[in-house]
Structure 1
Amino acid sequence: MAAAVLQPRPVNLESMSDSIDAVNIVKGNFITDDSLYGESDFDREKNKSTFRQFEDARDGVKNFYATQHTLQTVAYNLKARNDFKNKTRANMTVWEAMEKLNTFIDECDPDTTQSQMTHLLQSAEALRADGKPRWMQLVGLIHDLGKLLFFFGAQGQWDVVGDTFPVGCAFDDKIIFGTESFKDNDDYKNEIYSTKFGIYSPGCGLDNVMLSWGHDEYLYHIVKDQSKIPAEGLAMIRYHSFYPWHKEGAYHELMNQHDQEMLKAVRAFNPYDLYSKSNEIPDPEKLKSYYLELIDEYFPEKILRW
């Protein structure tokens, strides 16, 4: 049974620390079905129909996806992964990475023009307000840090941000803007890559599927080898932009039993990524000490290889 909330949830992000900490002490650090998969509470008053309205999005968003869907090919993805394995781009702490990312504005996001540090803190604070596990709060704090790729030799934003999808098999019409937007992709009419399963097999598991390269894939490979974040958290990082899968139900034929469990975790995380965006700006300096402690808890080494 869920632990009782000890105090009402404050409206102001910067004044919520004491009551949130009290809730988290009662809930503890262990994972329960309710603490992880329980329905989000912070967003009850939000009009969720106003989020992810791509058809009415600014032209820059539509142009972004036209470029991404043209250039995310199997050949590009193989090269990107090879480059990742053969190069360390920077050495810095998680907080330093957040500060560096603070100058980045995601041009494909129709819901906000706030800096990335603002979005990360909003996500983490929403998770904290709902008493989610400490590792899940940390995932909220870092889930978009892979956008550092933009500063590390990316070819634009098309290989950094945006909804993700598998390459090496047919593009599903549930991908944002549909399959027509892929008509100039070199893989679109490939005799193998254009088939339903392409280079994969039914039930092969998403660990064996190559998703379009970007911040999700990049950060996933960074943290799985350098953190103690559990499998559910790693899935939240890798798949949080995989909307055709976790939102629209596409590509489920590729899943194995492990992916079924991870899907529940990603869906539990999604509201905190999507609906925490607002015009209320948290103060990083007032929250820094709490999150530095959280970072140290799950990252054995302070300096990460990026």
Structure 2
Amino acid sequence: MRTEYGKLNKMEMGIWECCELLNDVIDESDPDLDEPQIEHLLQTAEAIRKDYPNEDWMHLTGLIHDLGKVLLHPGFGELPQWAVVGDTFPVGCAFDKSIVHHKYFEENPDYHNSDYNTKYGVYSEGCGLNNVMMSWGHDDYMYLVAKGNNTTLPPAALFIIRYHSFYGEASFTIPTLIDIDSNLYIEPMHTKYCCSIA
């Protein structure tokens, strides 16, 4: 899917048009939200604007962070929710037991592959999160869209977009400089803006 959707050839539209496509999408993987995704995007952007009024790039990042969920729309292939939404996790190494529905990995050939089923798998200790392949989903798609369209958002914004659904342990990755800079923002995104907003 990463190769196919990385071509970025499904549709061309502006950000607001894309937001409107999510007017009928409810993310079934998020027990905190039972509202259309467009409302979640607007609430996230507004909450960030309130807390960080001088950080325009963060407001925009909050607005677009889940736009990759357009992959659920017929114009983008109408992928099933299991292939688009939910938490992301590293592949190419042992599946962390904290991953939701971990038991189903036992049916995945990688679970039994000695190249992949160790703590570091195909990676080296301290390689940095940006060097780790993550499971495919809406986060990676939106990251590819932003990069493929020569975004002017700072690296921290791209990091937030790409990793905001990753909640597992990344103990094998010593952060790269961009990881460190971006982690200043990813913690508030996880705890305050990517869950239900009071």
TM-score w.r.t. the length of structure 2 is 0.90
User: Alignment partner for residue 80 of structure 2, among 127, 140, 156?
Assistant: 156
Q: Equivalent residue of 1:243, what SS?
A: coil
Which structure 2 residues correspond to residues 239-250 of structure 1 after superposition, within 5 A? Answer: 239-244=163-168, 250=169
Shift of 1:86: 3.4
Paired residue for 1:208? 131
User: Alignment partner for residue 230 of structure 1, among 154, 159, 166?
Assistant: 154
Q: Distance in 2 between matches of 1:130 and 1:197?
A: 37
Shift of 1:207: 1.9
Paired residue for 1:266? 186
In structure 2, relative to structure 1, the CA distance for the partners of 1:125 and 1:155 (3 Å cut) is closer
Q: Equivalent residue of 2:117, what SS?
A: coil
Q: Distance in 1 between matches of 2:29 and 2:161?
A: 18
Shift of 1:127: 1.0
The answer to whether the 8 A contact 1:154-1:160 is kept is no
Q: Distance in 2 between matches of 1:223 and 1:117?
A: 18
TM-score w.r.t. the length of structure 1 is 0.59
- Structure 1 counterpart of 2:173, one-letter code: L
Q: Equivalent residue of 1:183, what SS?
A: helix
- The superposition leaves residues 233-261 of structure 1 with CA deviations (integer Å, 9 ceiling, x where unpaired) of 111111110011xxxxx123223332233
Shift of 1:142: 0.8
- Structure 1 counterpart of 2:90, one-letter code: P
In structure 2, relative to structure 1, the CA distance for the partners of 1:86 and 1:137 (3 Å cut) is closer
Identity percentage over the alignment? 47
Paired residue for 2:67? 145
- The superposition leaves residues 186-214 of structure 1 with CA deviations (integer Å, 9 ceiling, x where unpaired) of 21111211111111111112222111100
Q: Distance in 2 between matches of 1:171 and 1:83?
A: 25
Structure 2, gaps ≥5 residues long: none
User: Alignment partner for residue 251 of structure 1, among 155, 170, 179?
Assistant: 170
Shift of 1:85: 3.2
Q: Distance in 1 between matches of 2:134 and 2:41?
A: 23
Structure 1, gaps ≥5 residues long: 1-79, 245-249, 279-306
- In angstroms, what is the RMSD of aligned CA positions? 1.6
User: Alignment partner for residue 16 of structure 2, among 92, 95, 101?
Assistant: 95
The answer to whether the 8 A contact 1:135-1:233 is kept is yes
The answer to whether the 8 A contact 2:20-2:38 is kept is yes
Q: Equivalent residue of 2:81, what SS?
A: coil
Q: Distance in 2 between matches of 1:103 and 1:153?
A: 16
The answer to whether the 8 A contact 1:235-1:265 is kept is no
User: Alignment partner for residue 185 of structure 1, among 91, 108, 121?
Assistant: 108
Shift of 1:232: 1.0
